Amino acid sequence: MKGYKDYSVVFAQSLILKTPPPLRATRKGRKRNPWNKTAQRKNDLLKKLGEAEQKHDFYSRLYKQYTIDLLRLAIYARALLTNQRIREHLDQHHPEIVARFETIIAEAKG
């Protein structure tokens, strides 16, 4: 600044920006460079977006698996209840299971 005899704020800012980041003086307590805030914020948002996509993929796969399992269960329950001998045995010894199977079949039909 002395060599150019320019003590303006704009000139001081341009000198700071010309200085490579590792050579700039750092203050204790300030960990982030204010000029790099937008890049850091963008990186943080991209990281959060990636995490959200991973969670969405996980839960959508989990939902698909639960749906498939429910349909399989409904098919097996219907097969058990349509078999006459098994139905008579369940009616005599396990009526609560018959009631559960019937509700499963009814919910699977929608």
Is the pLDDT assigned to residue 86 strictly greater than 80?
yes
In a domain, 54, yes or no: yes
In a domain, 17, yes or no: yes
In a domain, 2, yes or no: no
How high does pLDDT run on average in the chain?
86
In a domain, 97, yes or no: yes
pLDDT grade, residue 33 (50/70/90)?
Answer: low
Query: What DSSP line would sit under 20-75, residue for residue?
Result: -GGGS---TT--S-GGGHHHHHHHHHHHHHHHHHHHHHHHHHHHHHHHHHHHHHHH
Structural domain for 93, as ranges: 9-109
More confident residue, 70 or 7: 70
In a domain, 3, yes or no: no
In a domain, 1, yes or no: no
More confident residue, 94 or 32: 94
The total domain count for the chain is 1
